[in-house]
C-alpha cells in the first residue's frame, strides 16, 4: 500500500509550524504542527479539544467561512488539519485567515463555544483559558509565516 502523506514526514525532525500537506482537486490540506512528538511533549486532550472548539468556531464564523472545509485534531496529538477550498481561498489567504483566527482565539472573551452536554459529547474537558494559552503560542509562532515557509524541511 501507498503511505499516506503525513507518514512521509520525519517526526524526529518535525518542528512546530504551518505546513502544506497535500492537494486533492480543489481541496488543500495544511498541517498545523504544535509540538515535537519525539520530546513526549504532546498536546493534552484538554488542549486539543479546547483549541478545536475555539478555532473551528472562529473559522466557521469568518468572512472566509465558505472556503473552510474542515478543522480538526491529528490523532498523534501533535497538531491539527485545516482543509480549505483553493478556489475560494489562496494559500496566502489561508495563512492570513489562520493568523487572524489564532490571534482572535488568544484574545477570546466569553464562554467556551459548545461547552454543554447538549453540544459536545466530552464537554467536561473544555477550558477556555487552556485553549487561549495554546492559541497564543501558535499565533505568535505563525505571525510572520509566508507561503515560502509552508514546506517541511
Q: 32-79: per-residue pLDDT in tens?
A: 999 866 666 788 999 999 999 999 999 999 999 999 999 999 988 889
Q: Report the alpha-carbon distance of residue 19 to residue 32 in Å, rounded.
A: 6
| pTM of the predicted structure, to 2 decimals | 0.94
Judge whether 110 lies within some domain: yes
Which tens digits make up the pLDDT trace of 67-87? 999 999 998 888 999 999 999
Give Cα 7 to chain centroid, integer Å: 18
| Pick from 76, 98, 117: nearest CA to 30 | 98
Is residue 72 a part of any domain in this protein?
yes
What is the grid cell recorded at 57? Answer: 468556531
CATH number of the domain that residue 94 is part of = 3.30.1360.80
**Largest Cα–Cα separation, the chain:** 47
Let me know how long the chain is.
Answer: 153
**Span between the terminal Cα atoms of the chain, in Å:** 25
Residue 114 belongs to a domain: yes
Amino acid at each position: 500500500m501507498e503511505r499516506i502523506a503525513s507518514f512521509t514526514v520525519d517526526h524526529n525532525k518535525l518542528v512546530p509550524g504551518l505546513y502544506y500537506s497535500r492537494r486533492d482537486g480543489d481541496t488543500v490540506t495544511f498541517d498545523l504542527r504544535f509540538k515535537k512528538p519525539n520530546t513526549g511533549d504532546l498536546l493534552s486532550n484538554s488542549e486539543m479539544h479546547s483549541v478545536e472548539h475555539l478555532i473551528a468556531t472562529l473559522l466557521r464564523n469568518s468572512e472566509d467561512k465558505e472556503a473552510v472545509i474542515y478543522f480538526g485534531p491529528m490523532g498523534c496529538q501533535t497538531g491539527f488539519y485545516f482543509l480549505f477550498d483553493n478556489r475560494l481561498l489562496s494559500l496566502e489567504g489561508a495563512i492570513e485567515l489562520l493568523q487572524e483566527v489564532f490571534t482572535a482565539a488568544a484574545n477570546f472573551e466569553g464562554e467556551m463555544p459548545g461547552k454543554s452536554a447538549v453540544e459536545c459529547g466530552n464537554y467536561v474537558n473544555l477550558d477556555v483559558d487552556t485553549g487561549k494559552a495554546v492559541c497564543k503560542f501558535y499565533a505568535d509562532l505563525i505571525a510572520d509565516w509566508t507561503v515560502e515557509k509552508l514546506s517541511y524541511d
